Amino acid sequence: MELFTGWSDAGLPALFLASFLAATVLPFSSEALLAAMAMGPWGTLPLLLTASIGNTLGGMTNYGIGRWLQEGKLLRWLRVNPAKGRRWEGHVQRYGPWAALLCWLPVVGDPIAIALGLFRARFWPVLLLMFIGKAVRYAVVVAALRGLC
């Protein structure tokens, strides 16, 4: 536990920041910090809420980027083939906000969040479903480390 001496005040804010950054387009992982903290003195609920809220807000930042930018400009800027853009639009129209459950996935999670914003999926359902998906992922990590499953 010496690793965590003096970290108790900065631990949860650091986890929030790591979780937020991990959900943006920046290449960052929050699971390692969460795993280390799960082995420390923090309670399960504060860890899960902090990581889930931070990661959801990061994901919603991607959603906001998609919502804010014009479709044609964003697709050109990202050098997305127009056919692929239409395919993503079809996925958003077909699955709608339910696709937000998968925003926790590595590699494709960020593009899903951006596509949900770009193709105007409804905000509140996206927020709720994204939070659920990310919270379940973090709950599995904590449960596995603490032997709760």
CB 88 within 8 Å of CB 119: yes
The predicted model scores a pTM of 0.85
Q: What angle do CA 118, 81, 105 make, to 5 degrees?
A: 55
Look at residue 116 and give its three-state secondary structure. Answer: helix
The predicted pLDDT at position 1 comes to: 42
What's the pLDDT tens digit per position in 103-139?
999 889 998 999 999 999 999 999 999 999 999 999 9
CB 99 within 8 Å of CB 119: no
The predicted pLDDT at position 89 comes to: 84
In this structure, the chain runs to a length of 149
Mean pLDDT by 10 residues, the chain (149 residues): 51 95 86 93 95 98 90 70 79 91 92 92 98 97 83
The predicted pLDDT at position 71 comes to: 67
Domain ranges across the chain: 2-146
